[in-house]
Chains A and B, each alone.
Chain A
Amino acid sequence: MADKNLELFDAGHRACGGCGAALAARLVMKGAGTNTIVVSSTGCMEVFSTPYPETAWKVPWIHSLFENASAVASGIEASLKKQGRSEKIVIMAGDGATFDIGMVCISGAFERGHDFTYICYDNEAYMNTGIQRSGATPYDASTTTSPAGKCSFGNKRPKKDMPQILAAHGAPYVATASVAYPADLMQKVEKAVNTKGPCYLQVHAPCCTGWGFEGDQTIAIAKLAIETGLWVNFEMIDGKVTKVKKVVRKPVEEYLKTQKRFRHLFKPKRQDAEIAAIQAIADRNAEKYGIDIKLKKE
């Protein structure tokens, strides 16, 4: 059991005020504990936590390149095995590094079955380079490379289903979590870290700067993502969904209208067809994972 009072991710880091990813880093470290080696990919978290010589990490930490955290972690795991050491390996990578540029390395590492925990902090775009679209960017989100404009509603593709892809690789434990539910997040981290094999945890980390909302709304918006069904918190063990967070669902509009990246769906004109398409995504999530709380009639 990790000591939840330890702050292994120190203050003085340069994340924006209200940063979901910074909160995720703190909470992950509470779930992982001191006997951890963190492998980071290039991205917001790496940049705001390690400008030489100021490091916010109180555990051993390594950053190599953007796409190779999984391969670096594979090497560390092999080395620790040969040295007979017990540290746990936790990868912390953004969605850009995970869904896109790092795909090859992740697939290889998961296929080989290395013993590590891969945590993707998902802020749904390449935030550190200025909010460009990634494979995790939701449908119709406006980013700088998928901007809403006179002939575009923003990102044209749905979110890539990384959890299912990694479950298909035979990952023993795959889960999603959110900074909105910190106790759940820490618990899942602890479980992943203590499960042998390559485990994957995708953490929803709203980005006030990139999504366009005030920093104090990070938790509220993370909750709305779950309550509307656009983000599902679930656990998979050996490829089968075992636990799902159920909600009394709210219409997606309540989530979309809180963020500038979806503003074009409401102003200058309300885009009913697009909002309906997004509602359909939420409905499909709800059906696939069974998230709707069935209210019993007395």
Chain B
Amino acid sequence: MALAVGCRARPGRSRDNKTGSWRVFKPVFDHEKCSKCGMCKTLCPEGCISEDAEGFFNPDYAYCKGCGICSEECPGEAIAMNQEEK
């Protein structure tokens, strides 16, 4: 790809960087305990938690860094942080 004039870029390329590879701990979402409050999605610094058709929430493991904020802040304690199996 030709070098962009003036070191510029159009949106989208940050997604080439799969930050999920950084993870040490992995969040596991228990939909049984989920009250659908959406706090996890709001507080994720990656913005990689999305709502599914039923209103439950799931992280995009390609980008999830495993920071644990979602788990810490979930009022229903529905998210567990498990050591990643590599």
Contact with A215, one of B11, B42, B60, B69 (Cβ below 8 angstroms): B69
Q: Is the CB of B13 within 8 A of A7?
A: no
Q: Say yes or no for A10: interface residue by CB 8 A criterion.
A: yes
Q: When the two chains form their complex, are residues A182 and B11 in contact, meaning their CB atoms are under 8 A apart? A: no
CA–CA, A11 and B11, complex, Å = 11
A263 within 8 A of B: no
A55 interface neighbour in B13, B65, B71, Cβ under 8 Å: B13
Considering only residues 44-80 of chain B, those with a C-beta below 8 Å from chain A are 44-48, 60, 63, 65-69, 71-73
Q: Classify the secondary structure of B's interface with A.
A: loop
Q: Tell me whether B86 is interfacial, beta carbon within 8 Å.
A: no
Q: Is the CB of B72 within 8 A of A55?
A: no
| Pairwise interchain contact B47-A11, C-beta atoms closer than 8 A | yes
For A22, give the chain B residue with the smallest CB separation. Answer: B45
Determine whether the beta carbon of B14 is less than 8 Å from that of A54: yes
Q: Which residue of A lies closest to B23 (CB)?
A: A17
Instruction: Give the size range of B's interface with the partner.
Output: 20 to 34
Interface residues on A, range: 20 to 34
Residue numbers in B under 8 Å from A49 (CB-CB): 14
In angstroms, how far is the closest chain B Cβ from the Cβ of A61?
9
User: Do residues B14 and A18 form an inter-chain contact, with CB atoms below 8 A?
Assistant: no
* B28 at interface, CB cutoff 8 A: no
- Tell me if A216 counts as interface (CB < 8 A to partner B): yes
| Interface contact A10-B11, CB-CB below 8 Å | yes
The 8 closest A-B pairs by CB, nearest first: A216-B68, A17-B67, A17-B65, A12-B14, A18-B67, A11-B63, A22-B45, A56-B14
24 A-B pairs with C-beta separation under 8 A:
A7-B47, A10-B11, A11-B14, A11-B47, A12-B13, A12-B14, A13-B14, A14-B17, A17-B65, A17-B68, A18-B45, A18-B69, A22-B46, A23-B43, A23-B44, A23-B69, A52-B9, A53-B13, A55-B11, A58-B11, A215-B65, A216-B72, A219-B43, A220-B73
**B interface, CB within 8 angstroms of A:** 1, 4, 7, 9-19, 22, 42-48, 60, 63, 65-69, 71-73, 81
Mark A residues whose CB is within 8 Å of B: 7, 9-15, 17-20, 22-23, 26-27, 49-50, 52-58, 179, 182, 214-220
